[in-house]
Structure 1
Amino acid sequence: MNLFKLSLIGVLLSLCCAASYAQTDGGDRDSIQTVAGTLSIVRVEHVKTDGVTFNASLNGAQFDQLYGSRYTYYTDSTGTDKPATRIVVEDFIGGFSDTPSVSLYDFRKKPPVVLPISNKLDVDDIRWSDSAVLLSANGSWYSFAGKKLARSKPPKKSAQ
Protein backbone atom coordinates (compact mmCIF):
# COMPACT_ATOMS: atom_id res chain seq x y z
CA MET A 1 0.00 0.00 0.00
CA ASN A 2 2.77 2.48 0.88
CA LEU A 3 4.61 1.67 -2.33
CA PHE A 4 1.47 2.46 -4.32
CA LYS A 5 1.05 5.82 -2.57
CA LEU A 6 4.69 6.72 -3.18
CA SER A 7 4.40 5.74 -6.83
CA LEU A 8 1.26 7.83 -7.21
CA ILE A 9 2.90 10.84 -5.58
CA GLY A 10 5.95 10.42 -7.85
CA VAL A 11 3.77 10.33 -10.96
CA LEU A 12 1.84 13.42 -9.86
CA LEU A 13 5.04 15.34 -9.12
CA SER A 14 6.56 14.41 -12.47
CA LEU A 15 3.41 15.58 -14.27
CA CYS A 16 3.47 18.89 -12.40
CA CYS A 17 7.15 19.45 -13.11
CA ALA A 18 6.89 18.50 -16.79
CA ALA A 19 5.29 21.83 -17.66
CA SER A 20 7.30 23.95 -15.23
CA TYR A 21 9.65 25.20 -17.99
CA ALA A 22 6.89 27.47 -19.26
CA GLN A 23 6.70 29.73 -16.23
CA THR A 24 9.56 31.46 -14.48
CA ASP A 25 9.32 33.75 -11.50
CA GLY A 26 11.58 36.66 -12.22
CA GLY A 27 14.41 37.44 -9.87
CA ASP A 28 16.58 40.53 -9.51
CA ARG A 29 18.26 39.82 -12.85
CA ASP A 30 17.19 37.60 -15.74
CA SER A 31 18.72 37.09 -19.18
CA ILE A 32 16.52 35.44 -21.77
CA GLN A 33 17.72 34.44 -25.23
CA THR A 34 15.34 35.58 -27.97
CA VAL A 35 15.47 35.51 -31.76
CA ALA A 36 16.17 39.26 -31.62
CA GLY A 37 19.02 38.97 -29.09
CA THR A 38 19.36 38.94 -25.31
CA LEU A 39 16.51 40.32 -23.23
CA SER A 40 17.76 41.45 -19.81
CA ILE A 41 15.39 42.26 -16.97
CA VAL A 42 17.20 43.94 -14.08
CA ARG A 43 15.91 45.36 -10.78
CA VAL A 44 16.75 49.05 -10.44
CA GLU A 45 18.88 49.96 -7.43
CA HIS A 46 16.44 52.62 -6.21
CA VAL A 47 12.79 52.75 -7.22
CA LYS A 48 12.44 55.65 -9.61
CA THR A 49 10.00 58.52 -9.01
CA ASP A 50 7.68 57.10 -11.67
CA GLY A 51 7.63 53.74 -9.83
CA VAL A 52 9.86 51.72 -12.16
CA THR A 53 11.29 48.71 -10.30
CA PHE A 54 12.72 46.73 -13.25
CA ASN A 55 14.24 47.78 -16.57
CA ALA A 56 13.97 45.43 -19.54
CA SER A 57 16.56 45.92 -22.27
CA LEU A 58 17.10 44.14 -25.56
CA ASN A 59 20.75 43.90 -26.60
CA GLY A 60 21.51 46.72 -24.15
CA ALA A 61 18.84 49.14 -25.49
CA GLN A 62 15.79 50.13 -23.44
CA PHE A 63 12.83 47.86 -24.28
CA ASP A 64 10.28 48.02 -21.43
CA GLN A 65 9.85 48.98 -17.78
CA LEU A 66 8.13 46.98 -15.03
CA TYR A 67 6.53 48.61 -12.01
CA GLY A 68 5.72 45.72 -9.68
CA SER A 69 7.64 44.21 -6.80
CA ARG A 70 7.90 40.99 -8.80
CA TYR A 71 7.17 39.61 -12.27
CA THR A 72 6.59 36.26 -13.95
CA TYR A 73 7.24 35.38 -17.56
CA TYR A 74 6.31 32.61 -19.97
CA THR A 75 8.33 31.91 -23.11
CA ASP A 76 7.23 30.10 -26.24
CA SER A 77 10.54 28.29 -26.52
CA THR A 78 10.34 24.55 -25.94
CA GLY A 79 13.82 24.17 -24.50
CA THR A 80 16.73 26.03 -22.98
CA ASP A 81 18.76 25.92 -26.21
CA LYS A 82 16.01 27.39 -28.40
CA PRO A 83 15.58 31.21 -28.34
CA ALA A 84 12.13 32.63 -27.60
CA THR A 85 10.12 34.38 -30.29
CA ARG A 86 7.43 35.56 -27.84
CA ILE A 87 7.27 36.12 -24.09
CA VAL A 88 4.24 36.89 -21.92
CA VAL A 89 5.15 38.98 -18.86
CA GLU A 90 2.99 39.43 -15.76
CA ASP A 91 3.97 42.59 -13.86
CA PHE A 92 2.58 42.48 -10.29
CA ILE A 93 2.16 46.23 -9.87
CA GLY A 94 -0.32 46.08 -6.98
CA GLY A 95 1.47 43.33 -5.10
CA PHE A 96 0.15 39.84 -4.49
CA SER A 97 -3.50 40.77 -3.95
CA ASP A 98 -4.13 42.65 -7.22
CA THR A 99 -4.25 41.18 -10.70
CA PRO A 100 -1.05 41.79 -12.66
CA SER A 101 -0.56 43.80 -15.80
CA VAL A 102 0.02 41.32 -18.64
CA SER A 103 2.02 42.11 -21.79
CA LEU A 104 3.31 40.24 -24.83
CA TYR A 105 6.87 40.76 -26.00
CA ASP A 106 6.86 39.83 -29.70
CA PHE A 107 10.37 39.39 -31.11
CA ARG A 108 9.08 38.22 -34.51
CA LYS A 109 8.25 41.84 -35.39
CA LYS A 110 10.86 44.18 -36.85
CA PRO A 111 11.52 46.00 -34.56
CA PRO A 112 10.36 43.84 -31.60
CA VAL A 113 7.32 45.23 -29.77
CA VAL A 114 5.65 45.27 -26.37
CA LEU A 115 1.88 44.71 -26.66
CA PRO A 116 -0.36 45.25 -23.63
CA ILE A 117 -2.77 42.32 -23.16
CA SER A 118 -4.74 43.09 -19.99
CA ASN A 119 -4.57 44.34 -16.43
CA LYS A 120 -7.48 42.12 -15.35
CA LEU A 121 -6.05 38.61 -15.86
CA ASP A 122 -4.05 36.50 -13.43
CA VAL A 123 -2.63 33.94 -15.86
CA ASP A 124 -2.77 30.25 -14.88
CA ASP A 125 -1.62 28.67 -18.15
CA ILE A 126 -0.51 29.68 -21.63
CA ARG A 127 -0.65 27.87 -24.97
CA TRP A 128 1.03 29.15 -28.10
CA SER A 129 -0.09 29.03 -31.71
CA ASP A 130 1.42 30.77 -34.73
CA SER A 131 -1.33 33.38 -34.86
CA ALA A 132 -2.38 33.78 -31.21
CA VAL A 133 -1.55 33.32 -27.57
CA LEU A 134 -4.13 31.40 -25.54
CA LEU A 135 -4.27 32.40 -21.88
CA SER A 136 -6.10 30.66 -19.05
CA ALA A 137 -7.23 32.78 -16.11
CA ASN A 138 -9.68 31.83 -13.36
CA GLY A 139 -11.04 28.86 -15.29
CA SER A 140 -11.67 30.77 -18.53
CA TRP A 141 -9.63 30.84 -21.73
CA TYR A 142 -8.79 33.94 -23.76
CA SER A 143 -7.14 34.43 -27.12
CA PHE A 144 -4.80 37.36 -27.78
CA ALA A 145 -4.25 38.03 -31.47
CA GLY A 146 -3.92 41.19 -33.53
CA LYS A 147 -3.70 43.39 -30.40
CA LYS A 148 -7.14 42.12 -29.26
CA LEU A 149 -8.12 39.94 -26.32
CA ALA A 150 -11.26 37.81 -26.67
CA ARG A 151 -12.86 34.92 -24.81
CA SER A 152 -11.95 31.60 -26.35
CA LYS A 153 -12.71 27.92 -26.17
CA PRO A 154 -10.22 25.79 -24.24
CA PRO A 155 -7.43 24.51 -26.49
CA LYS A 156 -7.52 20.90 -27.60
CA LYS A 157 -5.37 18.53 -25.60
CA SER A 158 -2.00 18.04 -27.23
CA ALA A 159 0.87 15.68 -26.58
CA GLN A 160 3.63 17.76 -25.03
Structure 2
Amino acid sequence: MVKERGEKVVATNRRARYEYHLEDVVEAGLVLTGTEVKSLREGRATIGDGYCTDYHGELYLENVHIPEYLQGTWTNHSAKRRRKLLLHREQIEKMTAKAHQAGHTIVPLRLYFKDGRAKVEIALAKGKKLHDKRQALRERQDRREAERAMSAHLRKHG
Protein backbone atom coordinates (compact mmCIF):
# COMPACT_ATOMS: atom_id res chain seq x y z
CA MET A 1 0.00 0.00 0.00
CA VAL A 2 1.29 3.46 -0.91
CA LYS A 3 1.88 5.75 2.02
CA GLU A 4 -0.09 9.01 1.92
CA ARG A 5 1.90 12.18 1.41
CA GLY A 6 1.04 15.84 1.87
CA GLU A 7 -1.89 17.55 3.53
CA LYS A 8 -5.60 17.01 2.99
CA VAL A 9 -7.80 19.54 4.83
CA VAL A 10 -11.06 18.08 6.14
CA ALA A 11 -12.58 21.10 7.92
CA THR A 12 -11.66 24.71 8.69
CA ASN A 13 -13.01 27.09 11.29
CA ARG A 14 -13.21 30.40 9.45
CA ARG A 15 -15.36 31.94 12.18
CA ALA A 16 -12.54 31.57 14.73
CA ARG A 17 -10.36 34.08 12.86
CA TYR A 18 -13.27 36.54 12.86
CA GLU A 19 -14.36 36.03 16.49
CA TYR A 20 -10.92 35.85 18.17
CA HIS A 21 -7.44 37.34 18.23
CA LEU A 22 -5.26 34.26 17.69
CA GLU A 23 -2.09 34.12 19.77
CA ASP A 24 -0.31 30.72 19.87
CA VAL A 25 -1.02 28.23 17.09
CA VAL A 26 -0.07 24.58 17.68
CA GLU A 27 -0.49 21.35 15.70
CA ALA A 28 -1.81 18.43 17.74
CA GLY A 29 -2.54 14.79 17.02
CA LEU A 30 -5.94 13.24 17.79
CA VAL A 31 -6.95 9.99 19.45
CA LEU A 32 -9.67 8.62 17.16
CA THR A 33 -11.55 5.36 16.64
CA GLY A 34 -11.52 3.54 13.30
CA THR A 35 -14.95 4.74 12.19
CA GLU A 36 -14.05 8.34 13.02
CA VAL A 37 -11.00 8.13 10.75
CA LYS A 38 -13.10 6.65 7.93
CA SER A 39 -15.69 9.40 8.32
CA LEU A 40 -12.95 12.07 8.26
CA ARG A 41 -11.40 10.54 5.13
CA GLU A 42 -14.76 11.12 3.44
CA GLY A 43 -14.35 14.80 4.35
CA ARG A 44 -17.18 14.91 6.87
CA ALA A 45 -16.60 17.04 9.98
CA THR A 46 -17.73 20.30 11.56
CA ILE A 47 -15.41 22.19 13.92
CA GLY A 48 -17.18 25.57 14.03
CA ASP A 49 -18.47 25.16 17.59
CA GLY A 50 -15.43 23.30 18.87
CA TYR A 51 -13.23 24.22 21.82
CA CYS A 52 -10.59 22.58 24.03
CA THR A 53 -10.80 21.81 27.73
CA ASP A 54 -8.29 20.78 30.36
CA TYR A 55 -9.34 17.51 32.02
CA HIS A 56 -7.02 15.71 34.46
CA GLY A 57 -3.91 17.37 33.00
CA GLU A 58 -4.78 16.50 29.39
CA LEU A 59 -6.29 18.61 26.62
CA TYR A 60 -9.51 17.40 25.04
CA LEU A 61 -11.33 18.57 21.92
CA GLU A 62 -15.02 19.08 22.64
CA ASN A 63 -18.12 19.81 20.57
CA VAL A 64 -16.52 18.81 17.27
CA HIS A 65 -19.02 16.94 15.13
CA ILE A 66 -17.68 13.94 13.22
CA PRO A 67 -20.77 12.18 11.84
CA GLU A 68 -21.15 8.43 12.18
CA TYR A 69 -19.59 6.33 9.44
CA LEU A 70 -22.36 5.21 7.07
CA GLN A 71 -21.05 1.65 6.65
CA GLY A 72 -20.27 1.35 10.36
CA THR A 73 -21.99 -1.26 12.51
CA TRP A 74 -22.17 -1.59 16.27
CA THR A 75 -18.55 -0.32 16.38
CA ASN A 76 -19.66 3.17 15.30
CA HIS A 77 -18.65 6.18 17.42
CA SER A 78 -20.84 8.89 18.95
CA ALA A 79 -20.73 12.03 16.82
CA LYS A 80 -19.82 14.64 19.47
CA ARG A 81 -17.69 12.68 21.90
CA ARG A 82 -14.73 14.18 23.76
CA ARG A 83 -11.49 13.49 21.85
CA LYS A 84 -8.05 13.51 23.44
CA LEU A 85 -5.36 15.73 21.90
CA LEU A 86 -1.80 14.48 21.61
CA LEU A 87 0.65 17.19 22.70
CA HIS A 88 3.90 17.37 24.63
CA ARG A 89 3.53 17.99 28.37
CA GLU A 90 5.18 21.43 28.13
CA GLN A 91 2.78 22.48 25.35
CA ILE A 92 -0.24 21.37 27.41
CA GLU A 93 0.94 23.22 30.50
CA LYS A 94 1.75 26.39 28.52
CA MET A 95 -1.64 26.39 26.72
CA THR A 96 -3.72 25.64 29.82
CA ALA A 97 -1.91 28.25 31.93
CA LYS A 98 -2.68 30.94 29.33
CA ALA A 99 -6.22 29.64 28.75
CA HIS A 100 -7.08 30.08 32.45
CA GLN A 101 -6.54 33.84 32.10
CA ALA A 102 -9.73 35.86 31.70
CA GLY A 103 -11.09 36.03 28.17
CA HIS A 104 -8.86 33.29 26.73
CA THR A 105 -9.89 29.97 25.22
CA ILE A 106 -8.40 27.28 23.02
CA VAL A 107 -10.17 26.84 19.67
CA PRO A 108 -9.58 24.46 16.74
CA LEU A 109 -8.70 26.19 13.46
CA ARG A 110 -8.60 23.29 11.04
CA LEU A 111 -8.77 19.51 10.96
CA TYR A 112 -6.61 17.75 8.37
CA PHE A 113 -4.57 14.69 7.44
CA LYS A 114 -0.81 15.16 7.31
CA ASP A 115 1.04 12.21 5.78
CA GLY A 116 -1.93 9.97 6.60
CA ARG A 117 -2.31 11.01 10.24
CA ALA A 118 -5.23 13.05 11.56
CA LYS A 119 -4.11 16.39 12.98
CA VAL A 120 -5.87 19.43 14.38
CA GLU A 121 -4.47 22.95 14.43
CA ILE A 122 -5.46 24.63 17.69
CA ALA A 123 -4.89 28.20 18.81
CA LEU A 124 -4.93 30.10 22.05
CA ALA A 125 -7.48 32.82 21.39
CA LYS A 126 -8.77 35.96 23.06
CA GLY A 127 -12.30 37.10 22.22
CA LYS A 128 -12.64 40.19 20.03
CA LYS A 129 -14.87 43.07 20.97
CA LEU A 130 -17.62 44.22 18.59
CA HIS A 131 -15.61 47.24 17.38
CA ASP A 132 -12.66 44.93 16.55
CA LYS A 133 -14.94 42.76 14.39
CA ARG A 134 -16.27 45.84 12.61
CA GLN A 135 -12.72 47.05 12.02
CA ALA A 136 -11.71 43.68 10.52
CA LEU A 137 -14.78 43.71 8.26
CA ARG A 138 -14.01 47.27 7.13
CA GLU A 139 -10.38 46.37 6.35
CA ARG A 140 -11.49 43.36 4.29
CA GLN A 141 -13.97 45.48 2.31
CA ASP A 142 -11.33 48.19 1.69
CA ARG A 143 -8.83 45.56 0.49
CA ARG A 144 -11.44 44.08 -1.90
CA GLU A 145 -12.32 47.51 -3.31
CA ALA A 146 -8.63 48.32 -3.86
CA GLU A 147 -8.08 45.00 -5.66
CA ARG A 148 -11.17 45.62 -7.81
CA ALA A 149 -9.97 49.11 -8.74
CA MET A 150 -6.48 47.83 -9.60
CA SER A 151 -7.80 45.01 -11.77
CA ALA A 152 -10.16 47.44 -13.57
CA HIS A 153 -7.22 49.79 -14.14
CA LEU A 154 -5.08 46.97 -15.51
CA ARG A 155 -7.86 45.83 -17.85
CA LYS A 156 -8.31 49.36 -19.13
CA HIS A 157 -4.60 50.14 -19.63
CA GLY A 158 -3.13 46.66 -20.00
Question: Structure 1 or 2: larger strand share?
Answer: 1
TM-score calculated relative to the size of structure 2: 0.25
Greater Rg over alpha carbons, structure: 2
**Larger helix share, 1 or 2:** 2
Name the TM-score, length of structure 1 as normaliser.
0.25
Q: Work out which structure has the larger RCO, using CA pairs closer than 8 Å and 6 or more positions apart in sequence.
A: 2
